[in-house]
Amino acid sequence: MRKPLGILVFSAAAPVLVAADPPVLRYVPKHEELAYTFGGVAPARHIAPGTRIVTWTEDCYDGAVTRPDQLPSKVAPIGHDNPQTGPFFVDGAEPGDTLAIHIEKLEPARAYGISSSFPGFGALNGTDRTAMLLPDLPETVWFYDVDREKAVARTHSADGKHTWEVPLAPFLGCLGVAPGNGEARSTIVPDSFGGNMDCPEVRAGNTVYLGVRVPGGLVSFGDGHFAMGDGEIIGTAIEGALNVELTVELVKRRETPWPRIENADWMMSLGAARPLEDAARIAYKDMVQWVMEKTGLGLMDAYEFVSQNAVAPLTEMVDPLYTVLVKIPKSRLPR
């Protein structure tokens, strides 16, 4: 069990509000309660800071794909991509605060996961933004059987002659708050508010920090992934419904312009943009600033430190904005 406030790093000037006896919300949304945008949705529940939420999320296909012979473009409702559980209104959260979301448990809620290619979508397919005078790659569906005992997902080739396994590594493809300025954004989009980050580090054992843009924050999550390779190049992970347990804490008077992720060993900054290099620049800049905050280094020293120590996986390059994660091992921070 996570120790309360075990890895929060904010200064005493940014107090963390935690209930003396943290409440637990057990909530399984009905299908009609799912949300399909970040922002523009009434809260599903109000929660106190420090609430542990025990819940469930639907898969990215809105639960519409149930057999390998079903094409998502034919059966999944338009505009119902990446359904969200929530949003949750965090009492006392105001613009300029930060939500610290401790992800405690994620596990497959079904015995199968699904991956697919889509026409006009994917890193190696022609899209509306990468226009090519070539036909789309064929829409294809792969069903993966979840082997809980071996902790793998298993599928086979289209001709049935080959099989392969992928180790289970569940994470939330979407985790976000409502954007500012009254915006409502599609659940396909990642941005400074979080959203469809498709980042494998949004997993159990990690804490995600998101800056509050509207009263209550309105945090939601979904798009369960059982596993995914860097880049998500075909356009989907091994998608599936998840059982979710997480705790939402409130850090007052602390702004977080872009999503940050932390555990005992790593600090991580995420950037989202197109072109890809701008996503990387956002994440690197935020990491330089975070290192300055943690260590007291000056700008140029922090810039040099990050330059020589960062790891930067490409998390996805298929969504309307691409995402890059910059990671620094805490063990290398200057004393």
pLDDT tens for 226-269 read 999 999 999 999 999 999 999 999 999 999 999 999 999 999 99
Q: How far is CA 196 from CA 90, 92, 93, 191, 330, in A?
A: 21, 25, 22, 8, 26
Q: Write out the H or E segment, with its range, that includes residue 25.
A: strand 24-26
Q: Per-residue pLDDT for 1 more than 60? A: no
User: Which tokens is 216 given?
Assistant: 């209550």
- In angstroms, the CA 270 to CA 324 distance is 6
pLDDT value of position 5: 43
As a whole number, mean pLDDT of residues 65-71 equals 94
Asked if domains 16-261 and 268-332 share a fold, the reply is no
Q: Per-residue pLDDT for 159 more than 70? A: yes
By the 10 Å C-beta count (0-12 exposed, 13-18 middle, 19+ buried), 180 is classed as middle
Provide the CATH number for the domain formed by 16-261 in this structure.
2.60.120.580
pLDDT value of position 119: 87
pLDDT value of position 286: 98
Please, are residues 88 and 248 in contact by the beta-carbon 8 Å criterion? yes
Q: Per-residue pLDDT for 13 more than 80? A: no
User: Which tokens is 136 given?
Assistant: 């789309």
Where do the structural domains in the chain lie, given as residue ranges? 16-261, 268-332
Spell out the alpha helix ranges (H) of the chain: 72-75, 276-295, 299-309
CA angle 304, 306, 311 (to 5 degrees): 140
Q: Mention every residue, 6+ apart, whose C-beta is less than 8 A from residue 286.
A: 257, 258, 260, 269, 270, 271, 326
pLDDT tens for 127-150 read 888 888 888 899 999 999 999 999
Q: For residue 15, name the pLDDT band (cuts at 50, 70, 90).
A: low
Residue 123: left if φ>0, alpha if ψ -120 to 50, beta else—which one? alpha
Q: Per-residue pLDDT for 3 more than 60? A: no
Please, are residues 44 and 29 in contact by the beta-carbon 8 Å criterion? yes
Q: For residue 17, name the pLDDT band (cuts at 50, 70, 90).
A: low
Q: Per-residue pLDDT for 67 more than 60? A: yes
Provide the CATH number for the domain formed by 268-332 in this structure.
3.10.28.20
Q: For residue 120, name the pLDDT band (cuts at 50, 70, 90).
A: confident
Nearest CA to 9 out of 321, 294, 300 is that of: 294
